[in-house]
Amino acid sequence: MIPREKHEREIQIQMDNTWSYIQAYARSCDYIGKTFGDEALRQFHVETGHKRARPALEMAAEKGVDKFMKMMCRQMDNLPDGDFALEETDEEIIVRGRCGSGGRWIREGLTARNSEGVPYYCVHCPIWWEEIPKEFSIPMTFHPSRDGDDCAWKVRKD
Predicted confidence band at 14 (pLDDT cuts at 50, 70, 90)?
Answer: confident
For residues 34-48, give the mean pLDDT. 96
Name all contacts of 50-58 with Cβ < 8 Å and 24+ positions apart.
50/132, 52/128, 53/128, 53/129, 53/132, 54/132, 57/132, 57/133, 57/135, 57/136, 57/138, 58/136
DSSP run (H or E) holding 54: helix 54-63
Question: How many domains does the chain contain in total?
Answer: 1
Q: Report the 3 state secondary structure along 84-127.
A: EEEEECCCEEEEEEECCCHHHHHHCCCCCECCCCCECHHHHHHH
Average predicted confidence (pLDDT) for the chain: 90
Task: Assess whether pLDDT exceeds 80 at residue 158.
Answer: no
Per residue in 69-115, pLDDT tens?
A: 999 999 888 887 889 999 999 999 999 999 888 888 888 888 888 88
Task: Assess whether pLDDT exceeds 80 at residue 149.
Answer: yes
Q: What is the DSSP letter of 81?
A: T
Separation of alpha carbons 93 and 103, rounded Å: 21
Beta-carbon contacts of residue 42 (< 8 Å; ≥ 6 apart): 123, 127
Give pLDDT, residue 94: 95
Give pLDDT, residue 125: 93
Give pLDDT, residue 58: 93
Separation of alpha carbons 79 and 101, rounded Å: 7
What are the residues facing 17 on neighbouring strands?
Answer: none
Cα separation values, 14 from 63, 72, 115, 145, Å: 28, 18, 34, 27
What CATH number corresponds to the domain at position 90?
Answer: 3.30.1380
Measured N-to-C along each axis, helices 54-63 and 65-77 cross at an angle, to the nearest 10 degrees, of: 140
| Structural domain that includes position 102 | 4-156
